[in-house]
Structure 1
Amino acid sequence: MDYHPKKLLTIVCEAVLEVPLTRDIQRLGAQGYTVVDARGGGHYGVKRAAWSFDRNIRVEVICEPDIADAIAGHIASSYAQDYGLVLYIGDVGVMREGHF
């Protein structure tokens, strides 16, 4: 089977960012995104998501490299200083190129 190369941009951040972040993602050219609740532990301690203000989300975007770079740059300049977040990018292969 042939796969088409894309980038997978993953952002783990405070749930309060969901609306502005997903709006920015679409404005910067991504065709879509996936948002799921996220829990875990790390540099900032344990996130159990027991309260709404303590929740984290994971946002995943599959897109072209230039769009991933634009989104990552925007997040770094607009949100990273004031919110807890982790951002990483990796290579993926997708089955349906036109969906991304």
Structure 2
Amino acid sequence: MLTHPFKLVTIIAEPVLAPRITQELRRLGATGFTVVEGRGEGSRAMHAAEIPGINVRIETIVPPEVGDRIVAHIAETYFADYEVIAYLSDVAVVRGDKYRSITSSGGR
């Protein structure tokens, strides 16, 4: 089966940030995303959110250059003031054209 190399961007954040982050993902070149609620505890064993232990995991599959742009934006915008982590993983997808937008090569 023919697959195409892409990046899976995973962002774990306070629930209040989900609408803002998902809007930014589209602007930065993502064609879609998935948001899942979850519970967990970070390295500091504390949560700043109003509901202790609740967070969201936001995932999107994007071309490598878009993944780099998204992670840089998340780091610059959220790391200093919010409980947010972000990371990239290599993935191989079928139907690679589904994950490319006409703005994928565009800027911020």
TM-score of the aligned structures, taking structure 2 as reference length: 0.82
SS, match of residue 8 in structure 2: strand
Identical positions, percent: 41
Aligned twin of 2:10: 10
SS, match of residue 41 in structure 1: coil
CA separation in 1, counterparts of 2:41 and 2:19?
24
AA matched with 1:82: D
1:52 Cα deviation after fit: 5.9
The structure with more strand, counted as a fraction of residues:
1
* Equivalent residues of 1:40, 1:46 under 8 A apart: no
Aligned twin of 2:51: 53
After superposition, the CA RMSD in angstroms is 1.7
Gaps of 5+ in 1: none
CA separation in 1, counterparts of 2:68 and 2:24?
13
TM-score of the aligned structures, taking structure 1 as reference length: 0.88
Gaps of 5+ in 2: 100-108
Runs ≥4 residues deviating over 2 A: 51-55
CA separation in 1, counterparts of 2:98 and 2:36?
20
CA separation in 2, counterparts of 1:82 and 1:46?
15
